[in-house]
Amino acid sequence: MLQIKNLSKNYEDLKVLEQIDLEIESNKTTVIIGPSGSGKTTLLRCLNLLAIPDIGEIDLNGVSLTFDPNQPLQKRKILDYRKKTGMVFQSFHLFSHRTVIENIMEGPVTVLKKGKADAMAEGMALLKKVGLEDKANQYPRQLSGGQQQRVAIARALAMKPEVLLFDEPTSALDPELEIEVLEIIRALAKEHYTIVIVTHKMTFAKEVGDNIIFLENGRILKQGSYAELYHSGNERINRFLTTLQ
Amino acid sequence: MFNERVINILQESFFKILIPGITHTIPLTLVSFAIGLFLAIVVALVQVSNVRILNPIVKFYVWVIRGTPLLVQIFIIFFGLPSAGIVLDSVPAAIIAFSLNVGAYASETLRAAILSVPLGQIEAGYSIGMNYFQVLRRIILPQAFKMSVPPLFNSFIGLVKDTSLAANITVTEMFMVTQRIAAKTFEPLALYCEVAVIYLIFCTVLSKVQHMAEKSLKLEQG
């Protein structure tokens, strides 16, 4: 379980996240939705500590981090926490000087100090899982956007994270390529990975989301199943859900 | 103009000029560039990693070196420092001046290359749990070095020609030797053209080396 307590994040005077309280259940898929600028991506980046919250607490399966502006977190703690979370970015961000398999092996070899042979075998298995074992020795620039994102998913999985974070994973893809990436995420959800996904795809949110969080102006306006949100009687949410079908 | 006498002078002087090129110009260039590149790497890393205390010092160094003429720097080191009790031979003085010069310019080349590595890849490195030094060593530097190859060759080729300034502090490199022969034979046009051609040959070889380096790094694919 990933617990977020009283988490706030400001960028100078701009309040991006305000007193977020949230419980993300293990082995479930949590979807974060909301209008642009509502703080979705910042919330996700806080869950990976790419953005450090100003105040609050994050507890991942019993390991707790407390944020306090007067007491910066130890680097060691940040690094240990990041090893347990996997992040998939909107624009893939594969290492462009490394081949596909090297991208996937990078974390296990450099961070987890795994042997190269083991990391390679595990990497190939992950590539098979995302259907790209024939691309192992190609460079990212030789792949389509959808393929790059599938490699990025494999790279995140290689760290065997306790939670997988997706930041609008299909926003940079055309509809045809989108399908192949969504299929992988759907499969991971079925395998009961703990997933947090920021998306604008409402149909997908409805399909895979066990819990849907509606964020607005840095606060959680409502959360629950799709049906609960839909029938919440909140006009703002209804308009959002129906216009973005 | 190119009568038999001039042709004879050109033939006789060719090796007289080329030999100091091999014994002085090339070693001076290689040694100064190696030291300068090392300096540049340190200076660039101090700046991008924002190392406290050192950062203002290296910024000051780049500012001074880039803002003053190389010839003046050479004179300060060779003719000026003895007044402060530091007496250097001409060759070490030249190496110090050239190294400091390359260090300042190449550090900016490297810094630009480092900053051009996409932030997203750096964050991707952090997201798989890498620390700053792992990101620097595994993600940033390999890409930055590759990108800085063409501009670094610019500095390298520039340095080959700048070594001619060492003639002013009694280093017997190619230009110094040419000046002496020209003074003796009264054929400045032919002789200075001759030394120019030799510099051109050196630099042509370097251009070829650059081309091969870029090819082996697959730079043209971006």
Contacting residues for A24 by C-beta, under 8 A, at least 6 apart: A1, A2, A3, A4, A30, A163, A194, A196, A211
User: Quick one: A191 and A79 in the same domain?
Assistant: yes
Of A138, A160, A182, which residue sits at a domain end?
A: A160
* Rounded (to 5) percent helix, strand, coil in chain A: 40, 25, 35
- Between chain A and chain B, the number of residue pairs with CB atoms below 8 A apart is 66
The confidence score (pLDDT) of residue B220 equals: 56
Residue of A nearest to B134 (CA): A110
Axis-axis angle for helices B4-20, B174-185 (nearest 10) = 150
Which chain B residues contact residue A76 at CB under 8 A? none
Which chain B residues contact residue A73 at CB under 8 A? none
The answer to whether the CB atoms of A86 and B128 lie below 8 A apart is yes
Which chain B residues contact residue A105 at CB under 8 A? none
Instruction: Looking at the complex, report in whole angstroms how far the Cα of residue A105 sits from the nearest Cα belonging to chain B.
Output: 11
CATH number of the domain that residue A50 is part of:
3.40.50.300
Q: Residue A117 domain-assigned?
A: yes
* Contact (CB, 8 A) for B170 and B145: no
User: Quick one: A56 and A121 in the same domain?
Assistant: no
Q: Residue A118 domain-assigned?
A: yes
The answer to whether the CB atoms of B139 and A96 lie below 8 A apart is no
Q: Residue A114 domain-assigned?
A: yes
User: Quick one: A179 and A213 in the same domain?
Assistant: yes
Q: Residue A89 domain-assigned?
A: no
Of A160, A177, A203, which residue sits at a domain end?
A: A160
Q: State the first-to-last Cα distance of chain B, in angstroms, to the nearest integer.
A: 50
The answer for A 141-160 residues in CB contact with B (under 8 A) is 141, 152, 155-156, 158-159
Domains belonging to chain B, first-starting first, are: 4-221 (1.10.3720.10)
User: Quick one: A182 and A237 in the same domain?
Assistant: yes
Sheet order of strands, A195-198 included: A85-88, A163-167, A195-198, A29-33, A211-216, A219-224
List the domain range (segments joined by +) for residue A111. 94-160
Q: Residue A26 domain-assigned?
A: yes
User: Quick one: A232 and A184 in the same domain?
Assistant: yes
The Cα-based distances of A89 to A92, A191, B7, B116 in angstroms read: 5, 21, 69, 19
Q: Please identify which residue in the block is written with the tokens 């205390």.
A: B53
Of A123, A141, A160, which residue sits at a domain end?
A: A160
Exposure of B124 in the CB half-sphere (CA atoms within 13 A): 27
Residue of B nearest to A158 (CA): B128
Q: Residue A165 domain-assigned?
A: yes
User: Quick one: A139 and A29 in the same domain?
Assistant: no
Tens-digit pLDDT string for chain B (222 aa): 668 999 999 999 999 999 999 999 999 999 999 999 999 999 999 999 989 999 999 999 999 999 999 999 999 999 999 999 999 999 999 999 999 999 999 999 999 999 999 999 999 999 999 999 999 999 999 999 999 999 999 999 999 999 999 999 999 999 999 999 999 999 999 999 999 999 999 999 999 999 999 998 877 554
User: Quick one: A102 and A70 in the same domain?
Assistant: no
User: Quick one: A176 and A60 in the same domain?
Assistant: yes
Q: How far is residue A237's CA from residue A214's CA, in Å, rounded to a whole number?
A: 8
User: Quick one: A123 and A106 in the same domain?
Assistant: yes
Q: Does A91 touch chain B (CB under 8 A)?
A: yes
Judge if ipTM > 0.95.
no
Residue of B nearest to A166 (CA): B127
Tens-digit pLDDT string for chain A (245 aa): 999 999 999 998 889 999 999 999 999 999 999 998 899 999 999 999 999 999 999 999 999 999 998 888 899 999 999 999 999 999 999 999 999 999 999 999 999 999 999 999 999 999 999 999 999 999 999 999 999 999 999 999 999 999 999 999 999 999 889 999 999 999 999 999 999 999 988 889 999 999 999 999 999 999 999 989 888 888 888 888 887 65
Q: Residue A6 domain-assigned?
A: yes
Q: Residue A69 domain-assigned?
A: yes
Which chain A residues contact residue B124 at CB under 8 A? 87, 89, 93-95, 152, 155
Q: pLDDT of B198-220, one tens digit each?
A: 999 999 999 999 999 999 887 75
The domain total for chain A is 2
User: Quick one: A174 and A58 in the same domain?
Assistant: yes
Strands A14-24, A63-67: pairing kind: unpaired
The answer to whether the CB atoms of A82 and B127 lie below 8 A apart is yes
Residue of A nearest to B139 (CA): A95
User: Quick one: A214 and A151 in the same domain?
Assistant: no
User: Quick one: A9 and A119 in the same domain?
Assistant: no
Out of A79, A80, A96, whose CB is closest to B121? A96
Residue of A nearest to B146 (CA): A97
